[in-house]
Amino acid sequence: MVTSIENKLPGTSKVWVYQSARKLTTGESGTIRNKVKDFVSNWTSHKIGVVADGDILFDLFIVLMADEAKVGVSGCSIDSSVHFVKALEHEYRTNFFDRWNIAYEKGSQIFCCNKNEFEELVSTGEIKDETFVFNNLVNNKDDFETRWKIPYSQSWLKSLRSSNTSFNSIL
171 residues of the chain, pLDDT tens digit each: 445 565 689 999 999 999 999 999 999 999 999 999 999 999 999 999 999 999 999 999 999 999 999 899 989 999 999 999 999 999 999 999 998 999 999 999 999 999 999 999 999 999 999 999 999 999 999 999 999 999 999 998 887 765 555 555 544
Q: pLDDT value at position 170?
A: 47
In a domain, 9, yes or no: no
32 within a domain of the structure (yes/no): yes
| CB distance 34 to 89 below 8 Å | no
Question: Same domain, yes or no, for 86 and 109?
Answer: no
Do both 70 and 32 map to the same domain? yes
Last residue of a domain, one of 92, 111, 135: 92
Q: Does residue 7 fall inside a structural domain?
A: no
How high is the pLDDT of residue 160?
72
Dist. CA 96–CA 148, nearest whole Å: 17
Do 82 and 30 lie in one domain? The reply is yes
Question: Whole domain around residue 119: which residue ranges?
Answer: 102-165
pLDDT recorded at residue 149: 97
Identity of the amino acid at 148: W
Domains in the chain, number: 2
Residue whose C-alpha is closest to residue 118's, from 100, 135, 97, 106: 100
Picking from 107, 37, 26, the residue whose alpha carbon sits closest to that of residue 60 is 26
Last residue of a domain, one of 63, 92, 121: 92
Please give the pLDDT value at position 164: 54
| 21 and 86 part of one domain | yes
Q: Are residues 73 and 113 in the same domain?
A: no
Give CA–CA dist 73/148, Å, rounded.
22
Q: What is the pLDDT of residue 127?
A: 96
Question: Of 92, 119, 137, which residue constitutes the final position of a domain?
Answer: 92
pLDDT computed for residue 8 by the predictor: 83
Q: Which pTM does this prediction carry?
A: 0.89
